[in-house]
Structure 1
Amino acid sequence: MTVERELSETENSDKVSLKAESALTATKQKLGRRSFCRALGAASASAFVASGSAVGETSGISSSDDDQYDKVVNIVEDYDADPTGNESVNDAFEEAVGKNTKVVFPEGVYLFDRLSRFYEAENTAVVGEGDVTFTVPDGYDYYILSLRGTGVHFENVTIDYTAPETDASVAFQSDDDFLVKDVHFKGVRDADGGSNFCLLAAVTSPEGEGVIESVQCPDGAKDRVRKGGMWLYRSHSGALTINRCSFEGFSDNGIYASGPGGRGNGPVRVENCFFRNNNVSNIRLGTPGSYAENCTIIVDGDGATLLPWSGEYGNSRAVWLWHDFDGHVANCDILLNHPSGNGILYRPETSVAGDVSNTRIEINADGRHAIWARSDGEDLRFENIHVSGTASNDSVVNLTDRNATFENCCIEQTGESRDGFDLNGSAVRVYNTNLSVTGENFDTDADSSYETKRLSENGGCALPELDQSEESST
């Protein structure tokens, strides 16, 4: 079996990363974050995630240097594993893996034809050196690796399941010192059944830490097949940072991290990540201390990839907040160009909290909300939120049984019959804000109220626009 991996499809090369970082930094400086978001719609996710911060900037967890381990083995030289993709390497891997051991896969293609488990991991690393691909037989649709213990590291591997009706997944649970880095999932997930998510993970000790960095899942899933990007086990109780990752075109969430809510309750920190057209939600959080920062979410083209039971469009929420979430969403860009798109939603019938700041949302799909909260709970706060676009009908903000403050915001929607705030049993305070809509500024029921101070109702939001020449040059 021959598998080729193009340099342009991964940020593992320093050359690619540095070039992309320089180009995108210049673009952001020229356009501002909102126009940058629109420009990025035509750019690669790998370029975006390459501009994020390094692992060392977010955690004390470092890559797997040889001197960290009692034993460093080369799976080809020491265990006669086949690097051509023709013969299974499961037996060799299971013999090589162990405690205080780094298993090195040199450049090549490695065939996994079944699940290999190691549940006694202790300072255990699986690391590719050079251009390393794990692949599976045609028609395979299950996990290939599952590691549990402490000090679990998995680095620098492409997982290739490009054959029709073929999937492959990896699963890791680590008490502490958990690292997944530079992993590329290659292929559309189209097997009806088997493993739902590319990557499953958890930090299983409340005192533990983990980092998932530079994981790319650009190919998504086939329409009407239930598949997601990343799942966090309900046992997740430590702190996990997800940094410089990308998830595109999944039918069952991009990052599904609400499961630990009310259970393990470990915080999940999503930083510098890129999402496009993930159904149900792009970022789904539900634990105390969690947040999304410096992320870009786009719903465009044909819209969200559909679940088997989805309607015509599906529902691609940019951020969906659940359970005991009490963190924040900050410095994010959201572009909704398709009717399946939605903004930041608070799960009904929960007391989910969480403030939003310094975030830009462009809505050109009719009837979609920027903010939608439908549950009783502590007051919400939105500061320096910019909403623009041509959407018509319904409202920019929908609040039911929830009070909120909007301060230093700018809301402009030019489509017909577009209201600013739809309030049902809610009180809202709007201060120092430019509100320019074609419908009612405030549509209230008898149990709602609003207070305004220094409200401007005329003129557009002072945000840069992206013209055609800028878009084509990005």
Structure 2
Amino acid sequence: MAFDGGSSMGEGNPANVGATNIDTGVTTVIDPAAYEDRFSNVVDITDDPYNADPTGEEPINDALMMAWEDDTLIVFPQGQYKMNQSFRRTGWRDVGLVGQNAVIRHGEVEAISGHTVDEGEYRGGTMLFQIGTTDSPHQGELVFGGFIFDWARENAGMRGLYAMVGDRAEIRNIAFNGVHDLGTHGNMRVAAMAPDAFAHVDSIDMSGGGMHYTDTINTRQTENYDGSTSDGGFGQSWSTTGIAGHRGMSGTTLFENVICGPWPDNGMYIQGGGRQIVRNCITSNSGTSNIRFNHTDDWEPIPELDESEDGELTRHGPYGQSTVEGCVVIIDRMPSGVHDAQRSIWHYAGEGVIRDCEVTVAHESESGGAAGNFAIGTRSGVTESVVENCKISLLEPADAFYSGTSAPVMLRDVDIVADGWDAGSSVSTVIGGQTPSLENVTLNGSL
């Protein structure tokens, strides 16, 4: 299934009309046979005694409660499945939920305030699958995917998955179809919660993005930057983020092959703790930033990423720090909301490497410097940052790089192209803030 991110996905939402056409998609099938040997029990949720309705008429929450057991793989055949309340599970281990183009819908929403539905078929908190907590993360294996979350209807869009992981999680092959237009939690929040834990998120399509709460039926009150509240006014749309990490996380989180944007808050806001890796993702047009990450030392080497040729685990391999690699980021308009500017890739704190990325800025912000658009940037909490082998295209006036730290920052083998406006003849004219170290950095082919 492919969602092109174009105007058809933004129907009814002027901010999403004319989105950059990214003709990419992900498979939404997981073969249970590939995982059967990991679990003692494999159950079909539509079989007796669970009898989940695959037609979307009756809610499946009771069937889920019955089927969820330790060491169990729960299979969703192709069909449509309705949820009328959040499904929360804590204190279990080794569980999988896998579908074959299984469509998940929530019941009708008639009134919503913040993150709670007050009227409609669906009632309560707006997290559909809530697995583990920060204090009691899911243990053993968690496998989740093969689903299509259907946001194509009016007044649809919640957090499809909230997963706090204490050991291993494989979350893949998920599409969010349509525009998230309830102004509540964004599509996913996933975090490893132990130094040796590993959460792998792969092949996710959320290109439809989401709307600012002021453009929805949500009556939430939200604090502005100055601490004042907005009641039906503007202000920021905290938590309406495509994918989020967690401030208390540790260990390693890897996000790859994600298609994300546009969102009123950050697109991929994976900032938190431990080591974060964003690899081969496509993001576009999200408020504040499209990819935002940081790094702390609260992680341990894992076999999946850190095994050397002699079989030893090392902290000094290619992913010895938080890394953004092989990503494509596009800024060519502002998302739903009040944002004037956005950042493509924003290194927020700690160590980090940004490599082999392509960034295009084709929208001019009214602001400049730290408050304006820039392709790649650092914040004051950064301790060391390296940007290497990247290509930056500035099709409107903007900074290619903005440094908000006096810590060591190196730009190496970076090609900057300014097309359609006079950027000057020196690389320094498209670099703002603190001066980084430069090695083979060109502007329109010149050093």
Alignment TM-score > 0.5, same fold: yes
**Distance across 1 between alignment mates of 2:181 and 2:152:** 9
Contact 1:215 1:244 in 2 (8 A): yes
1:55-454 equivalences under 5 Å are 65-78=35-48, 79-128=50-99, 130-139=100-109, 142-148=126-132, 149-150=138-139, 151-169=141-159, 170-192=161-183, 194=184, 196-223=185-212, 224=214, 226=237, 227-258=240-271, 260=272, 265-288=273-296, 289-300=321-332, 303-307=333-337, 310-311=338-339, 314-324=340-350, 326-340=351-365, 341-347=373-379, 349-366=380-397, 368-377=398-407, 379-390=408-419, 391-392=421-422, 395-400=429-434, 403-412=435-444, 434-435=446-447
CA positional deviation for 1:63: 9.0
1:41 deviates by: 5.8
Decide whether aligned partners of structure 1 residues 63 and 221 sit closer, same or farther in structure 2, where only a CA change above 3 A counts.
farther
For residue 80 of structure 1, give the secondary structure of its aligned residue in structure 2.
coil
Equivalent residues of 1:246, 1:274 under 8 A apart:
yes
- Taking structure 2 as the reference length, the TM-score comes to 0.73
Q: What is the alpha-carbon distance in structure 2 between the residues aligned to residue 384 and residue 282 of structure 1? A: 22
The unaligned stretches of length 5 or more in structure 2 are 5-18, 110-121, 133-137, 216-236, 297-320, 366-372
Residue 381 of structure 1 aligns with an amino acid whose one-letter code is M
Change (3 A) 1:167 1:43: closer
Aligned residues: 348
Looking at structure 1, the residues matched to 268 and 418 of structure 2 have their Cα atoms a distance apart, in angstroms, of: 26
Moved more, 266-275 or 147-156: 147-156
The residue type equivalent to 2:145 in the other structure is E
Residue type matched to 2:23 in 1?
S
Distance 1:97 1:131 in 2: 20
| Residue identity opposite 2:418 in structure 1 | G
- Conservation of the 8 A alpha-carbon contact between 1:121 and 1:147: no
> Once the two structures are superposed, what CA deviation does each residue of 1:343-391 show, in whole Å capped at 9, x if it has no partner?
11111x324421000000000112x1011012222x2111110000224
Kept in 2: contact 1:212–1:243 (CA 8 A): yes
**% same residue:** 22
> Distance between the aligned counterparts of 1:350 and 1:171, measured in 2?
27
Q: Deviations over 1:185-224 (max 9, x none)?
A: 12212213x3x22001111110111210001101111255
Q: Secondary structure at the match of 1:354?
A: strand
CA distance in 1, matches of 2:274, 2:359: 26
Query: Do the aligned residues in 1 keep the contact of 2:290 with 2:343 (CA within 8 Å)?
Result: yes
Question: Match of 1:236, as an amino acid?
Answer: M
Query: What's the Cα RMSD here?
Result: 2.3
Answer yes or no: is the 8 Å Cα contact 2:2–2:23 preserved in 1: no
Letter in 1 for 2:172: K
Question: What are the Cα deviations for residues 148-179 of structure 1, in whole angstroms up to 9, with x where unaligned?
Answer: 21211101101112222221211011112111
What CA distance in whole angstroms lies between the structure 2 residues aligned with 1:102 and 1:179? Answer: 13
Q: Is the 8 A contact 2:343 2:376 kept in 1?
A: yes
Alignment check: 8 A CA contact 1:138 1:164 kept? no
Cα offset, 1:320, TM superposition: 0.9
Tell me, in whole angstroms, the C-alpha distance in 2 between the residues paired with 1:167 and 1:43: 21
Inter-partner Cα distance in structure 1 for 2:250 and 2:58: 39
Per-residue deviation, 1:322:
1.1
How many angstroms apart in 2 are the aligned matches of 1:102 and 1:389? 52
C-alpha displacement of 1:64: 5.6
Is the CA contact (8 Å cut-off) linking 1:64 and 1:153 kept in structure 2?
no
Distance 2:336 2:78 in 1: 37
CA distance in 2, matches of 1:115, 1:206: 29
1:32-90 CA-partner distances (Å, limit 9, x unpaired):
xxxxxxxx9644132xx78xxxx9xxxxxx99611211111111013111000000000
Measure how far apart 1:315 and its partner are: 1.8
Unaligned runs of at least 5 residues, structure 1: 1-6, 11-39, 56-61, 413-432, 436-474
TM-score by length of 1: 0.69
- 1 CA distance for matches of 2:249 and 2:381? 20
